[in-house]
Structure 1
Amino acid sequence: MIDKAVFLNLIEYEDKNRLSNIYGKLLFAEKTNSTVYTEDFYPPNVWKVLERVSGSISVNVYSNGVFKDAERRIISFSSDEVWYYPIKLLKITNLSSFSVLCHRDYLGALMALGLKREKFGDLIIKDETCYLPVKEELSEYIITNLKGVGACPCKVEVVDVYDEIIPDFNFEEVFLIITSNRLDCIVSSLTKLSRTKAMEIIQNSKVLVDYVVVKDKDKTVEDGAIITIRGYGKFKYIGQSGVTGSGRKRVLFKKFV
């Protein structure tokens, strides 16, 4: 089993108490040979690292956030493959025909119920409906107490994920030609700014990779990384799609819209 101090240093995450809790779940799964789930949803900088090192620990690591490209996920530890997760997918429908609600409106309404952000997953908005994964034990509380979002009345119900279509994120494909996978090069291309301006953005803590602020302009961006550039948007790096005649890389990003 991996040493606790080593485990805590593996992951760039500000709350070491929560990481200690994850480590305890890992130990319990190993000791009891059972499937154990985290109590909270975690961003990619946590579950990606754990999945990457699963081969060096005694149990397997899996994650699930309901949606295909979910960023925030429940993590599970098990010796067997995990098919079940204690998650409910809720559908919050705006009943007002006069107001259009956005991600911020739904998020604010949930936080106003006293819920911490880590207690629910990503929010996907489709037309006048917000889809929201939550832990099973919280679903009834939200259904009972969330009667409106802002000034708009709403209806909350559970989605049958086996019979109903699960929505996907909306993406806009962005094709770039870059010289390398260095962060400053990619930020420059995504923002259409000079390399010098891109480095300023990075140094001013405005760039996050998998939810972690990165100030190292030389950091290599890997396939699947989520890059957030404050003021410019959030992007998922899909990977290289080809090479130009001059030897530069042709790459694909998906921008969250």
Structure 2
Amino acid sequence: MELYQHFRKEEHPFIDQVLEWKEMVSRQYAPKLTDFLDPREQQIVQSIAGGAEDVRAFFFGGAPFVERKRVFLAPPYIDPEEEDYGIVLFAVRYPAKFVSLEHRDVLGALMSLGLRRGKFGDILIRDGEIQFFVAAEVADYVRLHVETIGKAPVALEPLPLSAAMPLAETWEEGTVTVSSLRLDAVLAQAFRLAREKARALVESGLVKVNWKVVDKPDFLCGPGDVLSARGFGRCKLFSVEGMTKKERWRIRLGRQK
């Protein structure tokens, strides 16, 4: 099928899923609500269903500025309301004076519940305040079972979606040198890993570039690329500033706070 030629092999199962959703909506004249999708998955949905005459795709993640969104696929005569997306916003109440929690602590606690990542939207952290979006169908379960994050006791308080904290992307930036612009080299420098460890992460399919899995260590990175490694977080290659006298690349990297 010509459609598959435009996507990586590991994306084909998701493409099949989107085609199934599209066919179901078209055949049954009934809407379909997806889990939270990352930007790459949203791009795939848009490319497959976005231009269809009999199915329309709407995207919402709880607030205008979020990255992860649920998709509402619907026949042409249906326009979704905010509540149709089934999204709940929780604030995390914890002793912030005594404990510092990071994005990975919150995500780790949520994933330990045994739910799919797709049931959770963006995690918002600013000045010690923490909020996160969750699919309404699992919100009660999450609220009941999340009692600690890290070593801190927590309570989850539902908030209206309008109370979501707007966030600007925050990065710890710095200029470093790398032997090459290969993915494994940039990754090793960004997360302070041995080159062999970075290469193993890439080859294991645990690394994404611009939300797309890349399993080739020799993939060449460029300015603007967003890299993520499962368990290590996210970094961004802001600029390539040239070569040093020792023939190493000088780059400006940012690591997401």
TM-score by length of 2: 0.65
How far apart, in 1, do the equivalents of 2:57 and 2:171 lie?
Answer: 28
CA contact (8 A) 2:18 2:45 kept: no
Residue aligning to 2:25:
29
Identical aligned residues as a percent: 23
Distance (Å, rounded) in 1 between the aligned partners of 2:254 and 2:117 = 24
Partner of 1:124: 124
CA distance in 2, matches of 1:222, 1:52: 25
Alignment of 1:229-240 (within 5 A): 234-235=234-235
Q: Corresponding residue for 2:162?
A: 162
What letter is aligned with 1:93? R
* 1:7-29 per-position Cα deviation (integer Å, ceiling 9, x unaligned): 6984654683x654443322122
Report the Cα distance in structure 1 between the residues aligned to 2:214 and 2:97, rounded to whole angstroms.
40
Is 2:37 the counterpart of 1:42?
Answer: yes
Q: What is the identity, as a one-letter code, of the residue corresponding to 2:216?
A: K
Structure 1 residues 26-74: Cα deviation after superposition (integer angstroms, max 9, x where no partner): 2122224443211x22223321122134455342333332354534322
Match of residue 179 from structure 1: none
Looking at structure 2, the residues matched to 146 and 229 of structure 1 have their Cα atoms a distance apart, in angstroms, of: 25
> How many Å apart are 1:93 and its aligned residue?
2.0
C-alpha separation in 1, matches of 2:16 and 2:208: 23
CA distance in 2 between partners of 1:68 and 1:253 (Å) = 27
| Alignment map for 1:37-186 (pairs within 5 Å) | 37-38=33-34, 40-58=35-53, 59-78=55-74, 79=76, 82-84=80-82, 85-95=85-95, 97-163=97-163, 165-171=165-171, 184=182
Cα 1:145–1:232 change in 2 (3 A) is closer
Q: Does 1:213 align with 2:214?
A: yes
Partner SS for 2:140: helix
Shift of 1:90: 1.3
Summarize the Cα distance change of 1:103–1:232 in structure 2 as closer, same or farther, 3 Å threshold.
closer
Q: Is the 8 A contact 2:89 2:131 kept in 1?
A: yes
Structure 2 equivalent of residue 243 of structure 1: none
Could you report, residue by residue, the CA deviation over 1:170-204 in whole angstroms, capped at 9, with x for unpaired residues? 346799xxxxxxx75x99899989xxxx9x99976
Distance 1:21 1:231, change over 3 A: closer
For the 8 Å contact 2:187–2:198, the answer to whether it is kept is no
CA distance, structure 2, for counterparts of residue 71 and residue 87 of structure 1 = 14
Gaps of 5+ in 2: 176-180, 240-251
| Aligned-CA RMSD value | 4.6
Native 8 Å contact 2:89 2:164 kept in 1: no
Determine if contact 2:18/2:48 at 8 Å carries over to the other structure: no
Could you say what secondary structure the match of 1:88 adopts? Answer: strand
Distance, in Å, in 2 between the alignment partners of 1:168 and 1:91 is: 18
State how far apart, in whole Å, the 2-side matches of 1:142 and 1:47 are: 25
CA contact (8 A) 1:8 1:20 kept: no
Structure 1: gaps of 5 or more residues: 176-182, 241-251
| Pairs aligned (count) | 236
For residues 204 and 114 of structure 1, the distance between their equivalents in structure 2, rounded to whole angstroms, comes to 26
SS at match of 1:215: coil
8 Å Cα contact 2:92/2:129 also seen in 1: yes
